[in-house]
């Protein structure tokens, strides 16, 4: 007998408010792009690199226009997996480098562990970068039923070789199928396509009637490959971009096109299994693009991605480093096709996804359950984001409501760019279009200086997301409030890094493979 319509509606709303029942828990596909720039996807209003599959999902879901992550890879991934700010984990100071014995703290229960406890089948493809010295640090020891990917920060797209110029003894081959090294088996295959094929094979063979699926796809794209051949993409992708004259930017476009195709193929695979209607797809970058080689005075990274019109790059606390391209797609969203300007942080996904799975999120975390804000358009439960509190580099940043304060750190030393960097070759007006998620920034007033090494800078990033105009002199009370908040966070921070390689990890001792050694 059919239930009355009003009763069905009550059940539906309750599911969104408090998670789903066992028979209706959604599949979850969480996709992270590496070093993807704000201006490297076309749904933000610049069509130099068309991303039709990404755009289609974003524009028929909810675009998250104020979604924050950390400025670097390991801290963002640590926050995603734990629901905590990196300062709680001792991971705010940098990334885990090749050969270091440290990892994401082993006493932390991770997102896939919670989802597995809730009855999910959990699988990972791509970049781990949260520690690999011991088997107990690896994905299959931390909640994933299976893992296919690489354990460190990057690899060559065709050879799975990490070349680390700073300390070559610790670079090497890095591609794994669970605990088995398989790098040499796939030499010559383009990694974006390989990860996609493995993920789609899982979708094809998964028993959706038995268990819901959690799939974490952490792509290499659009991260650089190595210093000698940094940008890598097959001709079948780069040939789509004859309108881009600069070879580095053209190859970057090819890398992003492969990423875009990947999303389309994953959606098709879910549709073929009749699972798309009950699936939530989350897409985000781990941080902004690192910018062209000439802007970076460290070795590496560099790419030809761009965060324009946002300020700064990866490794900085400017919006270009930490405000990420992000969206959520699902048939379960009410009133899709929206742009949300509510404040979200990558730590919010742990409690949100656990709730959707019918589980109970831990209490001592920094993340918030943001599902009703995304699915129903309600205000975000979050009005504050700690962007950085790093006492080693004396680098601090926080957003509270529309205000963002930034002080000190790498962004002030001159070694990392803090300007505004359009695509190489300049901005072409013919590629600009007005999309709902396009950012509009005021004129830059050069009479209001910002010297973050010497004193705090304050911005209204709702009206000035490009951080053009320092308004600290107009709001001394806000400056004091945010400095006080940063002091509280800093006082509770766990000491972080720096991490140094263990001589026992040298790859010459392990047949050239970046393998667990303890």
Let me know if 480 is exposed, middle or buried by CB neighbors in 10 A (0-12, 13-18, 19+): exposed
What is the dihedral sign for C-alpha 206, 210, 212, 215?
negative
198 three-state secondary structure: helix
Strand partners, 213: 121
- Return d(Cα 348, Cα 304) in angstroms, integer: 30
Whether the Cβ atoms of residue 339 and residue 321 lie closer than 8 Å to each other? no
- Return d(Cα 451, Cα 225) in angstroms, integer: 34
Strand partners, 217: 31, 125
- Return d(Cα 173, Cα 163) in angstroms, integer: 9
- Return d(Cα 228, Cα 238) in angstroms, integer: 19
245 three-state secondary structure: coil
Kindly report the backbone phi and psi dihedral angles of residue 332, in degrees, each rounded to the nearest multiple of 5, phi listed first: -85, -5
131's tokens: 């520690």
Name the residue among 496, 449, 426, 490 with its Cα closest to residue 46. Answer: 426
| C-alpha distance across the termini of the chain, in Å | 61
Q: Give the rounded distance of the alpha carbon of 513 from its chain centre.
A: 26
Q: Give the rounded distance of the alpha carbon of 249 from its chain centre.
A: 21
Angstrom CA distances, 71 to 252, 264, 284, 325, stand at 20, 28, 13, 13
Q: Which helix (H) or strand (E) holds 63?
A: strand 62-64
Strand partners, 237: none
Strand partners, 339: 63
Active site residues: 73, 129
- Return d(Cα 2, Cα 6) in angstroms, integer: 12
348 three-state secondary structure: helix
Angstrom CA distances, 411 to 150, 157, 203, 342, stand at 30, 30, 43, 26
Token pair 């050069």 is found at: 446
Q: Which helix (H) or strand (E) holds 404?
A: strand 403-408
Token pair 């299994």 is found at: 273
Strand partners, 33: 285
Strand partners, 386: 398
Beta pairing, strands 62-64 & 326-330: antiparallel
């Amino acid at each position: 007998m059919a239930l009355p319509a009003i009763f069905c509606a009550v059940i539906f709303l309750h599911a969104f408010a408090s998670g789903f029942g066992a028979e209706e828990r959604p599949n979850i596909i969480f996709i992270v792009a590496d070093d993807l720039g704000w201006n490297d996807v076309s749904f933000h209003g610049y069509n130099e690199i068309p991303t039709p599959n990404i755009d289609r999902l974003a524009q028929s879901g909810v675009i998250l226009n104020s979604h924050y992550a950390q400025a670097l890879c390991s801290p963002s991934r640590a926050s995603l997996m734990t629901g905590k700010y990196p300062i709680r984990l001792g991971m705010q100071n940098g990334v885990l480098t090749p050969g270091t014995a440290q990892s994401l703290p082993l006493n932390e229960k991770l997102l896939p562990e919670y989802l597995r406890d809730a009855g999910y089948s959990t699988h990972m493809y791509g970049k781990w970068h949260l520690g690999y010295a011991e088997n107990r640090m690896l994905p299959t020891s931390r909640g994933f039923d299976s893992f296919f990917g690489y354990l460190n920060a990057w690899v060559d797209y065709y050879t799975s070789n990490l070349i680390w110029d700073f300390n070559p003894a610790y670079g090497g081959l890095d591609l794994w199928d669970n605990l088995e090294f398989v790098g040499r088996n796939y030499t010559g295959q383009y990694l974006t396509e390989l990860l996609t094929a493995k993920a789609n094979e899982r979708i094809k063979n998964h028993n959706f009637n038995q268990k819901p699926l959690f799939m974490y796809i952490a792509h290499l794209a659009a991260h650089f490959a190595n210093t000698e051949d940094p940008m890598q993409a097959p001709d079948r992708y780069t040939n789509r971009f004859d309108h881009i004259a600069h070879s580095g930017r053209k190859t970057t476009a090819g890398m992003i096109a492969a990423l875009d195709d990947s999303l389309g193929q994953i959606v098709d695979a879910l549709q073929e299994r009749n699972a798309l209607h009950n699936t939530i797809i989350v897409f985000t970058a781990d941080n902004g693009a690192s910018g062209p080689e000439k802007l970076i005075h460290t070795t590496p990274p560099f790419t030809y991605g761009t965060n324009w019109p946002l300020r700064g790059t990866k490794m900085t606390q400017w919006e270009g480093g930490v405000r990420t391209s992000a969206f959520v797609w699902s048939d379960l969203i009410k009133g899709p096709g929206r742009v949300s300007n509510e404040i979200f942080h990558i730590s919010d996904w742990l409690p949100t996804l656990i709730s959707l799975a019918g589980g109970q999120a831990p209490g001592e975390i920094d993340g918030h359950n943001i599902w009703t804000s995304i699915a129903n358009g309600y205000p975000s439960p979050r009005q504050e984001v700690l962007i950085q509190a790093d006492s080693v580099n004396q680098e601090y940043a926080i957003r509270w409501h529309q205000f963002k304060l930034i002080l000190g750190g790498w962004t002030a030393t001159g070694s990392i760019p803090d300007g505004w960097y359009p695509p190489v070759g300049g901005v072409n007006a013919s590629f600009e279009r007005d999309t709902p998620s396009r950012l509009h920034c005021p004129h830059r007033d050069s009479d209001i200086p910002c010297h973050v090494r010497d004193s705090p800078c304050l911005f209204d990033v709702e009206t000035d997301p490009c951080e053009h105009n320092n308004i600290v002199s107009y709001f001394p009370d806000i400056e004091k409030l945010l400095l006080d908040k940063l002091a509280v966070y800093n006082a509770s921070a766990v000491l972080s890094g720096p991490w140094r390689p263990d001589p026992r990890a040298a790859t010459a001792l392990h047949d050239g493979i970046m393998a667990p050694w303890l």
